[in-house]
Amino acid sequence: MKALITTWLAAALLMFGSLAQADLTIEITRGSDRATPIAVVPFGGGDALPEDVARIIHDNLARSGYFDPLERNAMFEQPTTRDEVRFGDWRALDARYLVVGTARQEGDGYRIQYELMDVNGERRMLGEVVTASDGELRGAGHYISDQIFEAITDIRGAFSTQIAYVTARGTGEDIRFVLHVADADGHNSQQILSSDEPILSPAWSPDGRKLAYVSFETERPAIYIQNLNSGERVRATSFEGINGAPAWSPDGRKLAMSLSKDGQPEIYVMDIGARDFQRLTDNSSIDTEPSWAPDGRSLVFTSDRSGGPQLYRHDLASGESERLTFTGNYNARGRFAPDGESLFLIHGGDRGYQVARQALDSGRLVVLSDSSQDESPSVAPNGTMVIFATQQGNRGVLGAVSADGRSSFRLPSAEGDVREPAWSPFLD
Amino acid sequence: MQLKPYAKCLALALSLAVLTGCASRGGSEDGMAGSADGSRDGAAGTDTSRSGQVSGSRMGDDDARQQADTRIPDVRTIYFDYDSDAIQSEFEPVLTSHARYLRENSSASVVLQGHTDERGTREYNMALSERRAGAVERFLNVQGVSSSQIDVVAYGEERPAAQGNDEDTYAQNRRVVFAY
């Protein structure tokens, strides 16, 4: 996996400019009141390694909103194996789970041994030895985080995934737009494309190998599909007018999009292999921001056919569209939860534009974020978090909120605006 | 609707950089009455404050007369209300000046760049900005400009003219730019 990334990165650099190492940092803004207490003890021998793997795990679990990891300075002792654990001490600290381990260099790489314990049951839930080559230490920390998260929550961890996003620096004619891919925790950011014309709407293919996006590099919008391994890319569409909002079908064979070649933005589905187009909507209003249902049988999209933007669902078999949102005057850019049972969207109301979730069966809409200029929600592949673009001061930053709204964090960039996050699928 | 003939007259007059009135131009294809004279028109008083925006020419009279048809109007941005693609009457003279330029220079072409403020979702804003540029295109069409001379590019909120989170900033960003 990492080796592949290195390969495409080299290709991308040749084609698209220099590497800008501008990782995003994470600030947890709201901790969940229902988070489970866990202690991730510093790994024995970990001090000698270039990355603090136990810290990576601690931070991942904290960010998820599901866990409230114990601070290191509150730990009485630092066991590294199960035999050293005195469960009573950890019960006294209210830790329900405990992670201990060792980490050391071995040959050209690293060997990490970890164990997950249920403190009340005084039993080992997981134990594993993970080897990592040079440069893969963070990846190993994410892998272990995924194992721990799933063992306790029964939900697949999404810490080994990535996010794509766009940064913009400068103003007026001097704006520089850069499309990046980084680890889900904001580290290891890599530049995919740099342009002095807008880049927006990155969308991951379901296999995680390609990004579709809109670039204005020819001074008009076109949709491109770029292979992240090879750096190769093709221009998928460059019709007159808007070429926007690409969205992959779950089988990866089709791309839904918004095209205004016939006068106003309509939803089309492009068969990528055959390069033919099926038009789904036909009216004089705006139809854009399509998103596929996980079963591939329907799409949601934004339309202002009722006067303002609302979400509609188009059933591919019947060809019929039905309106889904009725709360307030502005509901746009819907994205399905992975289970297909709810939508994440941008809801405009008295408090500005916020990330909200609407259950499809009840139609009930709940605002999740506490910011006011939110855009571009993108759902983690395990459905636990939504990442979105928002404002902090006068600067664009990425925010994330748990699917229940109980916890949130921000990923500010050191420089410039960050926007248009897209959470990758599971990468394996 | 009274404004339009006047606006045409004013725009023409300003493009000549001399307020001599439309009649002096002679041979006008606007179909305007020869007596329509911006400097005497009762409506002129209310609009003179904007004429500075529309004009800005520093050419002499003779140069102006010779170059009037070949000079691109100076004001190349018009602004819109929130969530609206309606062309405000105060900007009709600007549009009329561009319509005249394009009519009389059939080899000239313009890209209408539509923009929105940053509120709301990006792709929806892309569509709104296309609507704004489309409204300008229709206005130019009605004034006799060929569609083949007009290209529309919708930028949505991607290229703000000003940065900030206040109404002043938003107002500066809701615009259509004439790019020649």
Question: Could you give the ipTM of this predicted complex?
Answer: 0.90
**Rounded alpha-carbon distances, angstroms, from residue A251 to A140, A248, A254, A293, A296:** 29, 8, 8, 11, 8
Interface contact B180, partner A, CB < 8 A: no
Which 3 state secondary structure label does DSSP give B28? coil
Summarize pLDDT for A101-152 with one digit per residue, the tens. Answer: 999 999 999 999 999 999 999 999 999 999 999 889 999 999 999 999 999 9
Rounded to the nearest integer, the mean pLDDT of chain A is 92
Task: Tell me the C-alpha distance between A92 and B108, whole Å.
Answer: 80
> Which residue from B118, B124, B160 is facing A286, i.e. has the nearest CB?
B124
User: Helix-strand-coil percent breakdown of chain B, rounded to 5?
Assistant: 45, 10, 45
Report yes or no: A248 and A206 within 8 Å, Cβ to Cβ. Answer: yes
Closest chain B C-alpha to A99 CA, distance in angstroms: 42
**Rounded alpha-carbon distances, angstroms, from residue A311 to A275, A288, A367, B120:** 27, 10, 16, 14
Nearest Cα neighbor of B117 from B164, B72, B153 is B164
Contacts of B123 in chain A (CB under 8 A): 200-201, 244-245, 258, 288-289, 302, 333
Interface contact B84, partner A, CB < 8 A: no
The pLDDT, as a whole number, for residue A30 is 76
The pLDDT, as a whole number, for residue B59 is 42
- Out of A351-365, A387-401, A404-418, the most confident range is A351-365
DSSP at B144: T
**CB-side exposure of A145: number of CA atoms within 13 Å?**
28
Task: Tell me the C-alpha distance between A181 and B95, whole Å.
Answer: 43
How does DSSP assign A143-200, residue by residue?
HHHHHHHHHHHSS---TT-EEEEEEEES-GGG-EEEEEEEETTS-S-EEEEEESS-EE
Residue B166: closest CA among chain A residues belongs to which residue? A394
Question: Which pTM was predicted?
Answer: 0.84
The pLDDT, as a whole number, for residue A20 is 47
Confidence check: pLDDT of B152 > 60: yes
Mean pLDDT of A227-250: 97
CA-CA-CA-CA dihedral for B87, B88, B91, B96, to nearest 10? 50
The pLDDT, as a whole number, for residue A428 is 79
Mean pLDDT of A190-218: 97
- Cβ within 8 Å, pair A376-B127: no
Summarize pLDDT for A151-188 with one digit per residue, the tens. Answer: 999 999 999 999 999 999 987 778 899 999 999 999 99
The pLDDT, as a whole number, for residue A135 is 87
- Cβ within 8 Å, pair B158-A198: yes
Which of A301 and B52 is assigned the larger pLDDT?
A301
Q: Which of A200, A291, A355, A374 to mutate to test the interface with B (most CBs of B within 10 A)?
A: A200
Confidence check: pLDDT of B13 > 50: no
Confidence check: pLDDT of A255 > 50: yes
Report yes or no: A177 and A198 within 8 Å, Cβ to Cβ. Answer: yes
- Cβ within 8 Å, pair B153-A309: no
> Which residue from B127, B161, B165 is facing A265, i.e. has the nearest CB?
B127
Summarize pLDDT for A69-91 with one digit per residue, the tens. Answer: 999 999 999 999 999 999 999 99
Confidence check: pLDDT of B21 > 70: no
> Which residue from A200, A260, A420 is facing B130, i.e. has the nearest CB?
A260
Task: Tell me the C-alpha distance between A369 and B5, whole Å.
Answer: 52
Closest chain A C-alpha to B121 CA, distance in angstroms: 5
Task: Tell me the C-alpha distance between B109 and A200, whole Å.
Answer: 28
- Cβ within 8 Å, pair B159-A373: no
